[in-house]
Amino acid sequence: MSSIALGQKIRKYRLRSGKSQFQLELEMGIYAGSISRSENNLVNSTKETLLKLINILNISTLKSSTLFDLDIKSEFERYTKIAQKLNSQNILTKTLNFITADLIHYIDGNYAVIFMLNQESSELKVRCLNVHPSITILCSTFIGYPLDIVKFNLKNESHLKNFCVRSFIEDNMIETKDVYDASYPLLIRELLSIAQKLANINLIIALPLKYNNKSIGVLGVVINRSEISDVDKSVSMNLINLISSTIYRFIN
């Protein structure tokens, strides 16, 4: 997004709220003149500044995505049209790969995996694996079977301790820096220090996939930083809604 377009959007949302530049600066706790410089494209607003702006002006999730150059609506239409037009499991996988690739790009992540719920077997099965081939081979070698057939049984007590399974059951976004927590019970701890270094894993987040109050799966994302910002969490939630909608429309 050009700085001009961003400045115009900041001004539009501020005027819509009825706040003056000075009033907004006071509420955001930033220097006088900062908003004027942003609106006139004299400075580039940081993610943190934009997040403060979104919270104070109470900008909706969908509208706030435009401040980060995320056209969620058009992306949703693009992905769902592909899935609806070509009604096949292969196309759904490709569609989910497109979306998770966008997510990885937007939040500077490394890898992503989507587990979809199989109602009949009460299992969470890998449905999308957006991981570098070398890491896939590495993990598959450690586990003893291909990574893309990994599944967790919701009736198996040991599987309930898995990080992604907990996120699905608790219906809440959670994060961990412990690869053992995220891979349990697939890998023994002795192998994980090696895998963590080779795969550049510093943080893992899990986000439940839900649509129309129906739980349909969970997304796991590997981040190459030790923490994820509130802005990136907001971006993630936008794309989570997109993923959930795409899957729901495909399976119903």
User: Which pLDDT value is given to residue 2?
Assistant: 47
H helical segments located in the chain: 3-17, 21-28, 34-39, 47-57, 61-64, 72-85, 89-106, 133-143, 163-170, 179-183, 189-198, 230-251
Q: Is the pLDDT assigned to residue 219 strictly greater than 70?
A: yes
Distance of CA 33 to the CA centre of its chain: 34
- Mean pLDDT for the chain overall: 81
User: Which pLDDT value is given to residue 58?
Assistant: 80
User: Which pLDDT value is given to residue 202?
Assistant: 80
- Which range has the top average pLDDT, 68-77, 104-113, 216-225, 227-236? 216-225
- Residue by residue, DSSP assigns 135-152 as HHHHHHHHHTS-GGG-EE
If pLDDT is split at 50, 70 and 90, which confidence band does 46 have? confident
- Residue by residue, DSSP assigns 12-48 as HHHHHHT--HHHHHHHHT--TTHHHHHHTTSSPPPHH
User: Which pLDDT value is given to residue 114?
Assistant: 94
User: Which pLDDT value is given to residue 69?
Assistant: 66
pLDDT in tens, 137-171: 877 887 788 888 999 999 999 899 899 999 999 99
Predicted structure pTM score: 0.66
pLDDT in tens, 12-41: 888 988 999 999 989 988 888 889 988 888
pLDDT in tens, 53-105: 888 888 766 566 667 666 655 666 666 665 555 455 667 888 888 888 888 87
* Number of other residues whose CB lies within 10 A of the CB of residue 60: 8
Greater pLDDT, 73 or 134: 134
Angle at 155 between CA 150 and CA 160, to 5 degrees: 65
User: Which pLDDT value is given to residue 189?
Assistant: 66
User: Which pLDDT value is given to residue 3?
Assistant: 46
User: Which pLDDT value is given to residue 252?
Assistant: 67
Question: What distance separates the 2 farthest-apart alpha carbons in the chain?
Answer: 61
Task: State how far the Cα of 60 lies from the Cα of 105, in Å rounded to an integer.
Answer: 22
Q: Under DSSP, is residue 88 helix (H, G, I), strand (E, B) or coil?
A: coil
If pLDDT is split at 50, 70 and 90, which confidence band does 125 have? very high
User: Which pLDDT value is given to residue 215?
Assistant: 92
Cβ(215)–Cβ(171) below 8 Å: yes
Task: State how far the Cα of 241 lies from the Cα of 9, in Å rounded to an integer.
Answer: 23
The yes or no reply on domain 72-251 and CATH 3.40.50.970 is no
Name 205's bridge partners.
175, 221
* Extents of the domains making up the chain: 3-59, 72-251
Q: What percent of the chain has pLDDT over 90?
A: 22
CATH T-level assignment (fold) for domain 3-59? 434 Repressor (Amino-terminal Domain) (1.10.260)
For 217, the token pair is 């799966």
What contacts 62, CB < 8 A, 6 or more positions away?
72, 73, 238
